[in-house]
């Protein structure tokens, strides 16, 4: 495995962890993880990269080794503000190459429309946005948020990292034992009862009280001027889980003026775990070309 190193930055009052691979001064690639994940998740893709890259992967606030804010829930715009400070630290002038998975892909695409001059290219891995909402959904959403604040969610504990790895494999049949063990070891913390749990703030599971406004997201996507690589796993269940039709999917893709779409065979939502070698080839072909 290619060795990584940890850098800690002061980002908006939080001790932020950025995992780095490769040589400083080499072409930069920023990789953004998704919901209930961490920067270590991209180790397998980094291992498969053939060129010399300086890969920079932050743990979002409240994930991995990044500090947890004092607030009792999370607000999506904070990820955009955090990303802006991280990019300003590592690449204050040059446009950057952004790769994002799931939530990270959504962050990358929104940021690409908000700050189009800061982006050279975006690779969006299974970042489809969220289902559209209606104003009438607001009362129940606010009520659910208040209920979850009063009775906060928890994260499932496991007897050991081996048990955690087994659980990860149960959730993804394509995940090998070696990769599951690596993820479990890098994305877990001990509990007082000599067990382990995911290294993440359980408050991430609290529903966002504000509704997802699809039209606003699509307006940001249309403002993206950089080329976009749109990558989907052939066996993904994400679109179905969000009740998005193929027409919905195509309408979202059409928002991007310069879009290149690919489907990776024998891969689900966690395509960076399922087919890291195939994904690495796609990324390098797109980001270098």
List average pLDDT for each run of 10 residues in the chain, which is 289 residues long: 97 98 97 97 98 98 97 96 98 97 98 98 97 97 98 95 96 95 95 91 97 97 98 97 96 98 98 98 94
Q: Give the pLDDT confidence score for residue 194 in this predicted structure.
A: 80
Total count of domains within the chain: 2
> N- to C-terminal Cα distance for the chain?
26
Residue 144, domain member (yes or no): no
Same domain, yes or no, for 236 and 117?
A: yes
Same domain, yes or no, for 118 and 247?
A: yes
Which secondary structure element, helix H or strand E, spans residue 25, and what is its range?
A: none
Is pTM beyond 0.95 here? yes
Give the range of the structural domain holding residue 180, as residue numbers without chain letter. Answer: 156-197
Residue 46, domain member (yes or no): yes
Residue 273, domain member (yes or no): yes
Same domain, yes or no, for 31 and 122?
A: yes
What are phi and psi for residue 276, nearest 5 degrees? Answer: -65, -35
Helices (H), 91-211: 103-114, 138-150, 161-171, 177-186
Q: Give the pLDDT confidence score for residue 193 in this predicted structure.
A: 82
Residue 184, domain member (yes or no): yes
Same domain, yes or no, for 38 and 87?
A: yes
Helices 77-90 and 103-114: angle between axes, nearest 10 degrees? 70
Find the CATH number of the domain harbouring 118: 3.40.50.1820
Same domain, yes or no, for 117 and 247?
A: yes
Same domain, yes or no, for 252 and 126?
A: yes
Q: Give the pLDDT confidence score for residue 192 in this predicted structure.
A: 87
Same domain, yes or no, for 123 and 30?
A: yes
Question: 4-11 and 14-22: which strand pairing?
Answer: antiparallel
């Amino acid at each position: 495995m290619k060795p990584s190193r940890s850098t800690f930055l002061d980002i908006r009052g939080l001790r932020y962890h950025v995992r780095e691979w490769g040589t400083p001064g080499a072409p930069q690639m920023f990789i953004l993880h998704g919901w209930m994940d961490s920067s270590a998740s991209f180790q397998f893709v980094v291992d498969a990269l053939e060129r010399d890259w300086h890969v920079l992967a932050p743990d979002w606030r409240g994930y991995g080794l990044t500090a947890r804010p004092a607030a009792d829930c999370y607000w999506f715009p904070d990820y955009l503000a955090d990303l802006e400070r991280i990019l300003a630290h590592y690449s204050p002038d040059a446009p950057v190459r952004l790769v994002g998975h799931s939530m990270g892909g959504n962050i990358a695409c929104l940021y690409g429309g908000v700050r189009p001059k800061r982006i050279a290219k975006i690779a969006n891995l299974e970042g489809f946005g969220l289902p559209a909402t209606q104003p009438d959904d607001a009362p129940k959403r606010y009520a659910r948020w208040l209920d979850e604040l009063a009775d906060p969610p928890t994260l499932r504990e496991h007897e050991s990292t081996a048990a955690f790895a087994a659980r990860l494999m149960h959730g993804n049949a394509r995940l090998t034992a070696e990769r599951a063990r690596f993820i479990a070891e890098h994305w877990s913390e001990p509990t007082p009862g000599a067990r382990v749990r995911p290294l993440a703030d359980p408050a991430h599971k609290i529903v966002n009280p504000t509704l997802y406004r699809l039209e606003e997201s699509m307006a940001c996507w249309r403002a993206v001027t950089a080329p976009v690589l749109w990558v989907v796993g052939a066996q993904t269940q994400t679109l179905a889980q969000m009740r998005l039709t193929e027409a919905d999917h195509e309408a979202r893709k059409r928002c991007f003026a310069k879009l290149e779409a690919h489907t990776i065979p024998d891969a689900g939502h966690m395509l960076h775990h399922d087919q890291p070698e195939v994904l690495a080839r796609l990324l390098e072909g797109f980001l270098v070309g």
